[in-house]
Amino acid sequence: MLMKSTQSFILFCFIIIASSIFGLALRYIQVDNKISMTVIWILLFLTVITKVEKVYLEDFSDPKIQQYMMSPFALELIVLTKNLMIYLNLVIFFLITSPIIFLTLSIDFDIFWQINILAALSLLSLVFISSITASIANSKSNRLAITSVVTLPLFIPILIFSIGSMDMDLGNINSYLFFLAYFLLNLAFSPLLTSFALKKLSM
Amino acid sequence: MLNVSHLSFARGNKLVLKDINLSIGNSEVLVIKGSNGIGKSTFLSCMAGFLEPLEGRVEYFSKSIDPTISAKNFIFVGEENFAYEDLSILDNIYYWLSLNSVTPNQKSIHKSIEYLFGRIDMNKKFHQLSYGQKRKMRMLLLLLIDKPVWILDDPFNGLDKETISKLIKIISMKKALDGIIIMATHMTPHIKDIKVFELS
């Protein structure tokens, strides 16, 4: 349901091809860690958007939402669980693919864990914001699909702080506080907004 | 007892349902008829609480329908399949049962599958099933989840004669057990004392 083998393979190929293109483009430029993190963040962003939209298109189709709404569990709780499962899927997926990204982008392996921790933290918020985007994009009215771009500015702070965090000491817990705070904010609003959009726009 | 009073529903600027009044009690079957696109499915969605009416209300034992009431009392079987294509028949059943907080009973699951499908490999993936078998999958919910009200959208569509008569039997049994059955269909099933409501 969440990660079909074909889908995973397509995503894997996408990451390899995209990172190779970036790697080739940046070959003759002096690239510092911040630029590497930006490239990785863009790859993460595109992967999350694709993945979440695919899962939502399939798992929250009209007849399935009807059954979810007939369930004693609140739709918000179902959305939250799905998002957390997507997150776990993507974290593991990124952890597996990251060595290849490091190789294609010629990133120093000294910062392997630093980038993986930042990616895992960014992914939390990315998945929850993407779920709002996907629920609006999957609405019955095609006119609303373009409206889903209103959520795009919500992604920007994560990008800024991910890049900013490259200078911070990741042994210090304060470096993670933004990600935690932003995730908690998303945790509070995203399942509510997502399930509201699913109920009102997809039925 | 389910009451619909002065129900109207609009999609955009178009009024789909206008001032509908009806009531249905326990041990009753209500058949909603009408030509294609008249709003039968929309009406069922309003009754199930999926769509908010423009005016009027739907009440179950004098309480307005809300998500808690509909989740506790209603089973909705829509026109389309809700099963997951890559899961087997059994896994789909377990998934939907757990979502309805129903503890799976192996014996009743096997009996229900056998009753509707005859002999079939229960580990067959949903996408490997034929069109007719996929339609039957929707009906498994009725046999495995016990809720007093059934809302069925075109339940006989795509089923063979044998399965239709089985389904009629299931509906008659539910009726005898004090259940409320509301269905939108083009055919009139051979069930005693059914109410027919024509949408026009």
Going from N- to C-terminal start, the domains of chain B cover 2-198
Residue A167 pLDDT more than 80? Answer: no
Calculate mean pLDDT across residues B148-176: 91
Question: CA A95, CA A120: separation in Å to the nearest integer?
Answer: 9
3-class secondary structure for chain A? CCCCHHHHHHHHHHHHHHHHHHHHHCCCCCCCHHHHHHHHHHHHHHHHHHHHHHHHHHHCCHHHHHHHHCCCCCHHHHHHHHHHHHHHHHHHHHHHHHHHHHHHCCCCHHHHHHHHHHHHHHHHHHHHHHHHHHHHHCCCCHHHCHHHHHHHHHHHHHHHHHHHHHHCCCCCHHHHHHHHHHHHHHHHHHHHHHHHHHHHHCC
Are B71 and A72 inside 8 Å of each other by CB? yes
Calculate mean pLDDT across residues B58-79: 90
Are A72 and B96 inside 8 Å of each other by CB? no
Are B51 and A203 inside 8 Å of each other by CB? yes
| Residue pLDDT, tens place only, B45-66 | 999 988 888 999 999 998 998 8
Check if the beta carbon of residue B9 is closer than 8 Å to that of residue B17.
yes
The mean of the pLDDT values for chain B is: 89
| Residue pLDDT, tens place only, A3-50 | 567 778 888 888 888 888 888 887 777 777 778 888 888 889 999 999
Angle between helices B131-144 and B161-176 (to 10 degrees): 10
pLDDT at A193: 93
pLDDT at A86: 94
Are B50 and A203 inside 8 Å of each other by CB? yes
Percent of chain A scored above 90 by pLDDT?
A: 32
Instruction: Name B97's Cβ contacts closer than 8 Å, sequence gap at least 6.
Output: B103, B104, B144, B145
Percent of chain B scored above 90 by pLDDT?
A: 42
pLDDT at A1: 54
Percent of chain B scored above 70 by pLDDT?
A: 100
pLDDT at A4: 65
Q: ∠ CA B169-B170-B175 to the nearest 5 degrees?
A: 95
Phi-psi region of B158 (alpha: psi -120 to 50; beta: other; left: phi over 0): left
Question: CA A107, CA A112: separation in Å to the nearest integer?
Answer: 8
Interface test with B, best of A5, A60, A62, A67 (most B CBs within 10 A): A67
Least confident of A27-41, A65-79, B6-20, B101-115: A27-41
| Residue pLDDT, tens place only, A172-184 | 777 778 888 999 9
Q: If DSSP codes are grouped into helix, strand and coil, which group holds residue B121? A: coil
Interface test with A, best of B82, B135, B149, B150 (most A CBs within 10 A): B82
Which of the four pLDDT bands, split at 50, 70 and 90, describes residue B28? Answer: very high
Contacts of B76 in chain A (CB under 8 A): 66-67, 70
| Residue pLDDT, tens place only, B109-153 | 999 999 988 888 888 999 999 988 888 888 888 899 999 999 999
Q: Does B74 touch chain A (CB under 8 A)?
A: yes
Q: Which CATH architecture has domain B2-198?
A: 3-Layer(aba) Sandwich (3.40)
**ipTM for the complex shown:** 0.89
- The pTM (predicted TM-score) of the whole model is 0.86
Question: CA A82, CA A149: separation in Å to the nearest integer?
Answer: 22
pLDDT at A202: 74
Residue A79 pLDDT more than 90? Answer: yes
Calculate mean pLDDT across residues B75-84: 89
Cβ-count burial A14-34 (b if 16+ within 10 Å, e if not): ebeebbeebbeeeeeeebebe
